[in-house]
Structure 1
Amino acid sequence: MTDDTRATAEELAERVRDGELRLHELEDHADADAAAAARRLLVEGQSGASLDSVGDYGFPAADADPNIENMVGAAQVPMGVAGPVAIRGGSLDGERYLPLATTEGALLASVNRGCSVLNDAGGANARVLKSGMTRAPVFRVADVVEAEALVEWVRENEEKLREAAEETTSHGELSDVTPYVVGSSVYLRFRYDTKDAMGMNMATIATRAACDVVEEATDASLVALSGNLCSDKKPAAINAIEGRGRSVTADVTIPREVVEERLHTTPEAVAELNTRKNLVGSAKAASLGFNAHVANVVAAMFLATGQDAAQVVEGSNAITTAEERDGNLYVSVSIASLEVGTVGGGTKLPTQAEGLEVLGVRGGGDPAGSNADALAEAIAVGSLAGELSLLSALASRHLSSAHAELGR
């Protein structure tokens, strides 16, 4: 921090203490770095904490203006890489390092081991099988007769809704609208192709315009632009079934000798463990995620590439399968609702942009949407590596010894 910045920060902090300014108004009176420094002074004075590390960040505070309010600095999460791993995807093909940011010791080592085994098997397949960001407003109607009329109107006038929605965006496209009726509540689940953007804001703005058309043409009244049938940042069976964002699957067949020599177990043991743990155990727990720890890789790659961290809730909505095939081991991971983008949001932050560059997917793709598809495929392959490594550690009873060896 320069002397001028420090002086400005102290002046701003004093004005806040005197009641002249509010925390969120500081950028109107100084540059973003001085404003952040002033807030650190105020927080340090009130709490007695030192924010020296928080204030030691490596990019101009103004770069984060679209991403945060009342900025004081940055929380720095250690970032590492696993791989490189061979990916045979529909949009991502070749060897890539996988960037992961985490504070969980042994995670990178585990995923890295899984990547090595995937390479020994010739690499992993990955495909995005469905794509679409959703927003589901809820309308009030008088009774089920009006509900039926609204549903019928929507089915007959989807093109009008599409025109209104797509007027708000130069990239997004309305794919379909699905009505759901519960008494006098009617939910319309709009699904959009948002190309390389994760697209939540795009879908919200577009849906608002479509809702205006519904209210003008029918007796329905909009209660909320989000009626929770979307469903965003909450565990939801509808996302497990219908998908949200990208629905992506990665799989691999590993020769028996690789399983035995590298993973110190057998295809039969891994398959049985997966059935009893990930399938039966998860069913008994009424879990929406039938996997070992997909959320670990999803969260770490989200942080490393600027994704919305709260959407790890949906990203962990995955099913892992494992079976013995002709003496070899087949393993797959299917993630139903992986909400990712390579443009907008946190992807513009400098360190997160570098994480995307490591994968070769920063910015918009050609064709549009291909970079976000490629990111989804990379995360799915990373998740497959993580599942394979953990399941094998459990099958060989090496999990606790691995953590002990790494001192975690």
Structure 2
Amino acid sequence: MSDDAATDSETPEDAEALAERVRDGELRLHELEDHADADTAATARRLLVETQSGADLGTVGDYAFPAAEADSAIENMVGTVQVPLGVAGPVRIHGAALDGERYLPLATTEGALLASVNRGCSVLNDAGGSAARVTKSGMTRAPVFRVADVAEAEALVSWVRDNEGALAEAAEETTNHGELLDVTPYVVGNSVYLRFRYDTKDAMGMNMATIATRAAADVVEAETEASLVALSGNLCSDKKPAAVNAVEGRGRSVTADVTIPQETVEERLHTTPEAIAEVNTRKNLVGSAKAASLGFNAHVANVVAAMFLATGQDAAQVVEGANAITTMEVVDGGLYASVSLASLEVGTVGGGTKLPTQNEGLSVLGVAGGGDPAGSNADALAEAVAVGSLAGELSLLSALASRHLSSAHEDLGR
């Protein structure tokens, strides 16, 4: 239990005494670390929650690393929630940043997902592996400013275009690693949105971009008639389905592809290139268009979510990560398949990547910490997620084409 990870001076009475002080109104939950180490504080909170709810939090309280190591990732910690972790592969990846065979770590509670991705990985290997490339990179933040009228809006747009260097200087003073790549203005009546895009190297970079943009926004206010209304005006767009991310990208835009020989499709996937291509066209392209979907794929979110949980990414950004298009095309002698993820927001430093278990997931891929050159580890992680997504798409689409989807779930008891 977590008490085992505590210091020798810590006793259960310490935690009970803290819990009693919260019950008496002397302390608040978030103040417990001011009076005890992080593990004792977590134990005290569990005692309080157990008393109030009647729940037994013994399993939640049985975690493998000191609670202090989660300090930057959580507040009011009571323990951890464990999600089963598995691996698919190894799969052969021919990327610009990641080249070689890798196991793909996936954390999920969806039975049959690992088996499906693993099948796709084996098919990719039979075809010689999958290529992957990051085609665009940049984390965005888009503040909204109020102006008097459209004439003032046009003046602000012109000023921004003429003074992007000054905005970059202000933004980059706030970070040792971030670099402002460009600023794109959008005008809606008397609102002006400035979409700042940054190279954040191996960090996912949302906090970096926010702090840097705050400094740049101060310059805008000081030098123009515009007034900042909100540091985020939703044109970023973070953790929401958005066409701007599908078109312009956010985080990393990455594509993985492969050409699979016809005999491999028939022997390993038990269907034909023509059948898989038709399922993809009618399901992922036409069906998604009819549904007005922003994702034209079968289940990219499954792999993105599982690899995000396994490697300490911001789970809410699966919304953007699943913004992907899958293509399947019959070519001479086989099947060409690709997955293009427009807005995959990943990092290998900062945030949840510092947690010991998630850092181990990154280590499985060989991408923990900062890369050399800077940004190469996050590029490699993006390539691995794209290849895993391609494996998942191939497996599911072929199961649909061969009409084996339901029987596969029945066989696995899911």
| TM-score interval, smaller chain | over 0.9
Counterpart Cα distance in 1 of 2:356 and 2:370: 16
Unpaired stretches in structure 1, ≥5 consecutive residues: none
Partner residue of 1:174 out of 177, 180, 184: 180
Q: Which residue of 2 aligns with 1:305?
A: 311
> How many residues were matched structurally?
408
Separation (CA, whole Å) in 2 of partners of 1:50 and 1:156: 62
**Residues 243-293 of structure 1 deviation map (CA, whole Å, 9 limit, x = unaligned):** 000000000000000000000000000000000000000000000000000
**8 Å CA contact retained: 1:274, 1:321:** yes
Give the corresponding residue for 1:389.
395
Question: Residues of 2 paired with 1:132 and 1:316: CA distance?
Answer: 17
TM-score, scaled to structure 1: 0.99
Matched residue, 2:258: 252
Aligned to 2:230: 224
The question of 1:206 aligning with 2:212 is answered: yes
Q: In the alignment, is the contact (CA less than 8 A) between 1:96 and 1:359 conserved in 2? A: yes
The aligned amino acid for 2:272 is T
Looking at structure 1, the residues matched to 316 and 230 of structure 2 have their Cα atoms a distance apart, in angstroms, of 21
SS at match of 2:11: helix
- Please list the CA deviations of residues 112-147 of structure 1 after superposition, one character each: whole Å capped at 9, or x if unmatched: 000000000000000000000000000000000100
Matches within 5 A, 1:180-329: 180-329=186-335
In the aligned structure 1, how far is the partner of 2:14 from the partner of 2:276?
Answer: 61
Q: What residue in structure 2 maps to residue 139 of structure 1?
A: 145
Q: Which residue pairs with 2:362 in the alignment?
A: 356
In 2, are the aligned partners of 1:267 and 1:327 still within 8 Å (CA)?
no
Alignment of 1:74-89 (within 5 A): 74-89=80-95
Question: What secondary structure sits across from 1:340 in the alignment?
Answer: coil
Deviation of residue 220 (structure 1)?
Answer: 0.2
Deviation, structure 1 residue 327: 2.9
Letter in 2 for 1:164: A
Contact in 2 for aligned 1:37/1:72 (Cα 8 Å): yes
Question: Residues 179-219 of structure 1, C-alpha deviation per residue, up to 9 Å, x if partnerless?
Answer: 00000000000000000000000000000000000000000
Q: Residue 232 of structure 1 contacts residue 311 of structure 1 at CA under 8 Å; is this kept in 2?
A: yes
Task: For residues 75-107 of structure 1, give each alpha carbon's deviation from its aligned partner in whole angstroms, at most 9, with x where no partner exists.
Answer: 000000000000000100000000000000000
Aligned to 1:5: 11
Q: CA deviation at 1:59?
A: 0.4
State the AA in 2 paired with 1:254: I
Task: Give structure 2 stretches of 5+ with no counterpart.
Answer: none
| Cα deviation, residue 45, structure 1 | 0.3
Secondary structure of 1:261's aligned partner: helix
Which amino acid is 2:330 matched to?
A: E
Identity %: 86
Q: Which amino acid aligns with 1:47?
A: S
State the one-letter code of the partner of 1:363: G
Specify the alignment match of 1:150 in structure 2: 156
Per-residue CA deviations over 1:342-366 (Å, capped at 9, x if unaligned) read 0000000000000000000000001
Q: Which amino acid in structure 2 is aligned with residue 29 of structure 1?
A: H
Match of 1:92 in 2: 98
Distance in structure 2 (CA, Å) of the matches to 1:75 and 1:268:
44
Describe the superposition over 1:299-341 as per-residue Cα deviations: whole angstroms up to 9, x where unpaired. Answer: 0000000000000000000000001001300000000000000
Q: Does structure 1 residue 331 correspond to structure 2 residue 359? A: no
Q: Of 1, 15, 32, which aligns to 2:38?
A: 32
Alpha-carbon RMSD: 0.7
Q: Which amino acid aligns with 2:355?
A: L
Shift of 1:6: 1.3
**C-alpha distance in 1 between matches for 2:148 and 2:174:** 30
CA distance in 1, matches of 2:112, 2:11: 41
* Cα distance in 2 between the residues matched to 1:337 and 1:318: 8
Structure 1 runs (4+) greater than 4 angstroms displaced:
none
CA distance in 2, matches of 1:316, 1:5: 46
Residues 1:376 and 2:382 are matched in the alignment = yes
The AA in structure 1 aligned to 2:111 is: G
Length-normalised TM-score, structure 2: 0.98
Question: Cα deviation per residue 1:50-93 (whole Å; 9 max; x = unaligned)?
Answer: 00010000000000000000000000000000000000001000
